[in-house]
Homo-oligomer: A and B are copies of this chain.
Amino acid sequence: MAKDKKGYLLWKKSIKVIPGGNGLLSKRPERYAGEYWPTYFEKALGINLFDLSGNKWKDFAQMGLGCAILGYNNAEVNRYVSKFINKGINTTLNCPEEYILAKKLVKLNSFAKYVKFSRTGGEAMAIAVRIARAKTSTTSLAFSGYHGWHDWYIASNLQNRNNLDEQLLPGLKTNGVPKELIKTAFPFKYNSLSSLKKVLKLNRNIKIIIIEGARKSLLKQEIVEYLNYLKKNKNFVIIVDEITSGLRTSCSGAFKKTKLNPNIVVYGKALGNGFAINAIVGDEIMDCAQDTFISSSFHTERVGFVAAIKTLEILERDKIWINLDLKGKFLLKGINKIAKKYDIKIQTNDFFPLPSYDFNYKDQNSAYHTFFIQEFLKKGYLTSGSIYLSSKHTKKEIEKYLFHFDKITFKLKKILEKNEDIKKYLKIPIIDTGFKRLT
């Protein structure tokens, strides 16, 4: 297993000056293969990463948590961004690209009238929530899915510290979140109409619902219809978080495929192909932003806007999403075929532009994932249960990945047949998908 000693040493130093070692949980090596995970990159191109020791890795893992939808280091986006950097990016006056991008996003989202921008997904969701609360003059909200670190969301765990466990990250602590916000944010199960109805029945004052456009699947029709009903007949404000799912099924969000009629849709990650930019796209209720105060210097910085303008242009021109869908299907079909061949219980999702798989065993799922990560590292691949496809994941590359997937599944099969403990075969600690303090 190629091992990047330089990167590992740097990580050891980094956790001494940055709490947790970095600013994003999902980029911490402990979630993959600890010291065997390269942890740092020096250079990236297409789907390839080069670590600090010069080792090359193919990314069949998260592609910058889905940011790099056009592949790493996309020359067209870079050229466009550099052009504007050399004109100046942040002055006393505004840059026209803020308007141009807003106009474009309104055009791409037929329900929309107004757009606001921010620089992180968490902040974008906090802006959407502020506007919804301003509109409804209420605080309480129902939500499903993962929506970042801000108070409105983590407050959910004040009432019950396991409230968020089924959303994405188990074990999120509420330290530092005002206790005053207890009983203001109520989770429901993704795609469960009965769960949503139960929450609304128990909390009659809720007028705001926040969901993800897609997680493992698209939204079910019954839940879409109910949300549309609540919006149309009960004055609910519906916010769709498309930070992860957006721009993967069209130049809009996954919500569009399901005929959901939201008030606000939030984009991020892929929007600027990695450059920091988020957009809050909404109907006339966005006008409430003028009756509250939301303002920030860096909300007006030029780089994010121009990266997004060019990314959207390429997405639209090349209709990237059609290929993401086809490639996702192809990849998952391949995985299912291999699983069947070796009789390994693997469950795949059906949101094809963001394929994912899980093992379906009682206690061993994390161990099997760890085994796959370890064996893929030996082949020069970064991988994880979710594979954020990009335009640079060619069919040929997917075939190669499946070739290795086959070999590794066969290895696992042999281990299971011998009734051996998988841990015997693991050089790396079993991955931890929750949230815990790093020491």
Residues on A close to B: CB < 8 A?
A: 7, 10-11, 13-14, 17-20, 22-27, 38-45, 49, 51-52, 59, 61-65, 67-68, 72-73, 78, 81-82, 85-96, 98-99, 102-103, 106, 113-123, 126, 129-135, 137, 139, 148-152, 154, 169, 172-181, 184, 268-269, 274-276, 278, 286-301, 303-304, 382, 435, 437-438
Contacts and interface: CB of A to CB of B under 8 A. Distances in A.
Contact of A44 (B87, B117, B133): B87
A17 B99 contact: yes
A23 B63 contact: no
A88 B176 contact: no
B88 A85 contact: no
A134 B92 contact: no
Given A22-B94, A40-B94, A64 B297 contact: yes
Nearest to A182: B180
A59 to B, nearest CB: 5
A17 B297 contact: no
Question: Residue among A39, A86, A152 with the most chain B CB within 10 A?
Answer: A86
A24 B90 CA distance: 12
B114 A293 contact: no
A299 B269 CA distance: 12
A175 B134 contact: yes
A149 B294 contact: yes
Contacts of A61: 92
B275 A17 contact: no
Question: Residue among A88, A126, A178, A184 with the most chain B CB within 10 A?
Answer: A88
A90 B274 contact: yes
A11 to B, nearest CB: 8
A152 B150 CA distance: 11
A172 B139 CA distance: 19
